[in-house]
Amino acid sequence: MTVRDLLSSLMQRWRIVVATMLVVIAATAWLTLQIRPVYQSHSQVYLLANNQSESANVYNMPAAELETIIRVVTSPIVLDPVREELGLEPGTMLDVSATRFGDTPLLDVTVRAHDAQVAAQAATAVPQQLAAVARDFSPMLQLSGTAVSAQVVEPAAVPSAPVEPDVTRNLALAALAGLMLGIGFALARQALDQRVRETRDLEALSDRPVLASIPVRRNDDAHAIYLELDPFGPQAEAVRQLRTNMMFVDVTTGKHSFVISSTLPGEGKTTTAINLALAMSDAGTKVLLIDADLRHPSIATNLGLEGAVGLTTVLLGDADVEDVTQRWGGTNLHVLTAGEVPPNPSELLGSTKMHALFEELTEKYDFILVDAPPVLPVTDAMVIEKLTGGLLMVVASGETRKRHVQEALRVLSTTESHVAGFVLTKAPAKPAAYYSYYSGEHASTKPDGPRSKSRRPGARDRRMAKAQPHASAAAKARAQRTSDSGEVDLRSRLNVGRHEAP
């Protein structure tokens, strides 16, 4: 993984990183609040050993005996009397430590307790109790009859704030740990993610080009004719780019026809086919769109056309192709719907009549686009591909799994089907500035937001039921633009006439 891949992965999954960090911080804050505060007090004393005749400092004692006396400070011999003196219950926390201040006879005593007042009182009482029992642990003091006293150099003070827990330190460490853990989760999700997310994923799976990346539409409205409803939107511009790239691909085939399919249902192949056909017809090309998905036909529903008769009617010999071909919205787009659903779709599409019909249609139209069923469930797309110049594979970003694309490519290679290229649909929307060129009065929409998480069962049927209003709205939009264009042209001619009048 390159640095660019790492940054791209983190940008795509920044929510995981932030959520993990917040969870760790929240858990640490909760645990911190459960910890009982610990206060620390410190005192410094000067141990003196004296008798009736002379005064001698403990510092002159052998180092071993002095070290023994210092270690006694943490024993019950010292702490139990201190607890009794302070009125504390047995077992009350008193964390005591004592160290020499360098090579001097000064002794630093530190006491930690759950109560600030108790910590200060214990820091004062512990050195005195240590001095009282020090003689019992020094043979030199016992033989000489010398007593030990503790002279306070630095008295203990009542702490104003606990030393534990350190909230700032704990939260800082929690934020760092949460950040690292979140990055780890994001990278693990990246490694385990088997869905196609961007064009680079397709480029890694196949050497065929990605001809276009169509941004996701708001509410995942896959059946809207966006080229008509939003002609200056990012989706429409992406389809025009696809149209241009298809022209270059067509130069290498020379058949002027392509079949459009996908790996599995619900990836946007029909929507892509409809809008690509509209884009080609807008360029002045006489286009025929054939609905060859004889198992689940949807083009007639999406375009608001009659679907009772169509391709199957012609193949059965019940009608001529000119009689069932419908022109959409006064454009150069002609549509041959599927007709009635037959019991043997693959046999019909691979029949001699289908070959003859397709050869006839190629003579009448400049370009033919065929909407075929998905590749993995059935073999219809491979059968139709033999009649066309290649297959355009539609892949849905964030939905199609890489193994499905690999399996589809394997199936196509087995049948020697030619994949012309890929179209990535439902791709993440680009920043608004990317489309700022189209921010004029005709730009009615902004790049769409994130698509829905998943397509619930039955959503395909509900969207198809709503396709008729989409088709009506698209037709009205085209009629309105045509009317406005005609009025502008008429006014311009009148103005020219006035200027030319004598």
Give domain limits for the chain.
Answer: 3-35+165-192, 39-154, 199-485
248: Cβ contacts below 8 Å, ≥ 6 apart: none
- Name which of 49-53, 133-137, 318-322, 492-496 the model is least confident about: 492-496
285: Cβ contacts below 8 Å, ≥ 6 apart: 332, 366, 367
Q: Does the pLDDT at position 27 exceed 90?
A: yes
Q: Which amino acid is at 93?
A: M
Backbone angles phi, psi at 323, to 5 degrees: -75, -30
Instruction: Find tokens 């511009």 and name the residue.
Output: 237
> pLDDT band at 443, cuts 50/70/90?
very low
The 10 Å Cβ neighbour count of residue 25 is 19
- Determine what percent of the chain is predicted with pLDDT higher than 90: 40
Segment 11-38 shows an average pLDDT of 90
The 3 state secondary structure assigned to 409-421 is HHHHHHCCCCEEE
Instruction: Find tokens 């459960």 and name the residue.
Output: 34
* pLDDT value of position 161: 87
* pLDDT value of position 370: 96
User: Closest Cα partner for 396 from 380, 408, 379, 384?
Assistant: 408
- Determine what percent of the chain is predicted with pLDDT higher than 70: 78
12: Cβ contacts below 8 Å, ≥ 6 apart: 197
The rounded Cα 304 to chain-centroid distance in angstroms is 37
324/288 Cα distance (integer angstroms): 12
288: Cβ contacts below 8 Å, ≥ 6 apart: 325, 334, 335, 336, 361, 364, 365, 367, 368, 369
Segment 40-45 shows an average pLDDT of 90
* pLDDT value of position 477: 64
62-105 pLDDT tens trace: 666 677 778 888 888 888 888 888 888 887 888 898 888 776 66
Instruction: Find tokens 């790996």 and name the residue.
Output: 263
Segment 360-380 shows an average pLDDT of 94
Q: Are strands 419-427 and 210-215 parallel, antiparallel or unpaired?
A: parallel
* pLDDT value of position 94: 87
178-195 pLDDT tens trace: 999 998 888 887 777 788
* pLDDT value of position 84: 87
The 10 Å Cβ neighbour count of residue 226 is 26
349-369 pLDDT tens trace: 999 999 999 999 999 999 999
* pLDDT value of position 496: 37
474-493 pLDDT tens trace: 666 666 665 555 444 434 43
Q: Are strands 287-291 and 367-371 parallel, antiparallel or unpaired?
A: parallel
Under 8 Å between Cβ of 369 and 288: yes
234/438 Cα distance (integer angstroms): 9
* pLDDT value of position 58: 46
Show the tokens assigned to 8: 């791209």
* pLDDT value of position 493: 37
Which helix (H) or strand (E) is 177 found in, with range? helix 167-192
What kind of fold does domain 39-154 have according to CATH?
Alpha-Beta Plaits (3.30.70)
Q: Does the pLDDT at position 376 exceed 80?
A: yes
How buried is residue 343: exposed, middle or buried, by Cβ count under 10 Å (0-12/13-18/19+)? Answer: exposed
Q: Which amino acid is at 319?
A: A
Q: Is 279 left (phi over 0), alpha (psi -120 to 50) or beta?
A: alpha
Cis peptide before 159 (omega within 30 of 0): no
How buried is residue 470: exposed, middle or buried, by Cβ count under 10 Å (0-12/13-18/19+)? Answer: buried
78/89 Cα distance (integer angstroms): 15
Which helix (H) or strand (E) is 56 found in, with range? strand 55-57
> pLDDT band at 442, cuts 50/70/90?
very low
* pLDDT value of position 458: 47
Average pLDDT over all residues of the chain: 81
Taking the alpha carbons at both ends of the chain, their separation in whole angstroms is 76
291-312 pLDDT tens trace: 999 999 999 988 889 889 999 9
289: Cβ contacts below 8 Å, ≥ 6 apart: 273, 274, 277, 299, 333, 334, 335, 336, 368, 369, 370, 371
199-485 carries CATH number 3.40.50.300: yes
- Name which of 9-13, 169-173, 229-233, 360-364 the model is least confident about: 9-13
